[in-house]
Structure 1
Amino acid sequence: MGLRDRIAAELTAALHGGNLELERYAAPPGDPGLFGITPADPLWRVHGQATGMLTGGFAALMLQSLHPLAMAGVDQHSDFRADPVGRLNGTVRFITTTTFGSSPAAREVIGLVRRIHTRVRGTAPDGRPYRADDPDLLTWVHTAEVRSFLAGHQAYAPRPQRLTRAECDTYYRQAAPVAEELGARKVPRTASEVESYLTRMRPRLRATPAALDSVRFLRVFGRTPRERLVVRLLTNASTGLLPDWARTELSIRRPAPVRVCWDRPLATAVGRTLEWGLGPSQIQAAARGRLAGARQC
């Protein structure tokens, strides 16, 4: 097996559990997908760019951890420490299916996540009750996620593929219905609304011991030395996508020159290598084939 094949196999195992499940994206022919996303849309372009999604995904986990109730739910109910790859597979499957998948496949994964959320409830260390299907908590998790994905795209996509200001707003508008299907409410729909929302949320955010522990775990996990190295390089870069106040709260001390002159070039090189190894996305190709059926009907 050559280098490119090894990279593809390892990434497919890490991100998709070894099975792309292409039937989720290829059929039924002509189906427009639950949210009608096409290859020209900002949502497709952001979620289809591997380096931006990897760095943005790590940044999203760090930012989300600053909500004490969201972090309590993860800490008390998730098996991310015992099975981080399994947790990653589930998250990747949800994002790829709701973005590129057919309407039935998207409804299936949304229904699955909604059912899981009904079972995730408890009491945070500060005594407050929480539940994963709380609409306000869902809005936080979604907003932290899409803000990070977009930041990753704008930092690591080739310059011609980056979004204009108007396209950034379109990205947020196109992402919002997924959160609303899960039960979120008052979801920000423009870049300015996202930043205003984060400003309003800041008094409620802090790094709990569980949050700091999860970030430490995130930055060192991996099944092999090579995987741990790649994760460390990408998570180092992902800290540069966080707002300054979030880095401070998480006690991440990476000066701006290090983030710009060291972390970003290394992550760009790693990301381009991974993208080369993956080759053209089979998932996106399957989705394009399904959408092409709509034009033939």
Structure 2
Amino acid sequence: MNEHASITKPATRTYQKSTTPTKIDFTRPEGEEAICAPGSMHWRIFKNSIAMGIGGVAAVLLEFADARIRSGVWDHSVYPVDPIGRSQRTGMAAMLGVYGPKSMAQRVIGGVNRMHAKVAGETPNGEKYTAQDPELLDWVSATAQYGFLTAYDRFVHKLSEEEKLDYWTGGDEIAKLYGVTEIPHSEADFLVMMERLVPRFEPHQINSDFLEIVSSGKARPQIPAFIHRALARAAVDILPPIVREKLDLGPEWNLSLPERLMVKFIGRQADKKVDTESPAYQAALRLGLPGNTAWQ
């Protein structure tokens, strides 16, 4: 069996230990600014768990389309044995970059970069890769930008061109901390970057296994499985058509009209619900602002 054949196959490799804390107190230290300012589009979008979930799944699919990234994640992280935990830590790192105290964000991102410096290997076809390859760093950052924005625009609230521009240009400082050198400032820029990589994209069992895990609802079993399936299909729905074609994600991943309406409903409801335990709420308190700042 190909070593990458199944995401649930027991692994015997030594994995890089994550440097991202699983729990962060966003209320401390009092008064310390975040990299992204309150009132920014990043504060607005990242508070929405539905947009983040859909966008995050889409970003992973866009990344795993390239064998170098897929192999790097598979061979050097806990992803094969703990995809949910790994995804949750990645999400926490994203929240820290937007809402966390700037000094902590810089420190944790520095740790991530040092960990990535140790990641190198070969794809099953023998192509060498490193996690610090500028092309791969740029693509991983761009997929997150595209995924979160597109999910919010498609399933929460339609954004104006000015709002989209504010988002595309508002994350430069975070991206540069990760070593990103090419930062798209529009969807058109993102698609130009994607077109250079598209010839590399290929279907793989890992993509299907990943979507099946998302659909299963193992991450949040208290939520009905049919909602998880709809969210997974929503993630496929926002992929550029050529990517979906390259990944061979067929009609079984089509988002039906009832599912689309349901996802939009829960996305908008999530945008209204003020969560006092969320990074957005706690970060506002740290800055001496009303907790619901990101919801205003």
- Structure 1 residues 72-81 or 133-142, which shifts more? 72-81
Aligned-residue offset at 1:19: 6.9
Structure-to-structure mapping, 1:136-285, within 5 angstroms: 136-157=135-156, 159=157, 162-220=158-216, 222=218, 226-227=222-223, 229=225, 230-254=227-251, 259=255, 261-271=257-267, 279-280=275-276, 282-285=278-281
User: TM-score of the superposition, structure 2-length normalised?
Assistant: 0.80
Structure-to-structure mapping, 1:71-90, within 5 angstroms: 71-90=70-89
Structure 1 or 2: larger helix share? 1
Distance 1:147 1:287 in 2: 24
177 and 260 in structure 1: CA distance in 2 versus 1, 3 angstrom threshold: farther
Percent identity at matched positions? 25
Q: Is the contact made by 1:120 and 1:132 (CA closer than 8 Å) also made in structure 2?
A: yes
Structure-to-structure mapping, 1:112-131, within 5 angstroms: 112-131=111-130
- Structure 1 residues 70-79 or 204-213, which shifts more? 204-213
Question: Matched residue pairs, number?
Answer: 269
Match of 1:65 in 2: 64
Distance 1:275 1:101 in 2: 20
Aligned-residue offset at 1:215: 3.8
Q: Which runs of 5+ in 2 are unaligned?
A: 1-19, 290-296
User: TM-score of the superposition, structure 1-length normalised?
Assistant: 0.80
Report the aligned-residue RMSD.
2.8
Q: Which runs of 5+ in 1 are unaligned?
A: 1-16
254 and 208 in structure 1: CA distance in 2 versus 1, 3 angstrom threshold: closer
Q: Is the contact made by 1:68 and 1:208 (CA closer than 8 Å) also made in structure 2?
A: no
217 and 133 in structure 1: CA distance in 2 versus 1, 3 angstrom threshold: same
Q: Is the contact made by 1:170 and 1:190 (CA closer than 8 Å) also made in structure 2?
A: no
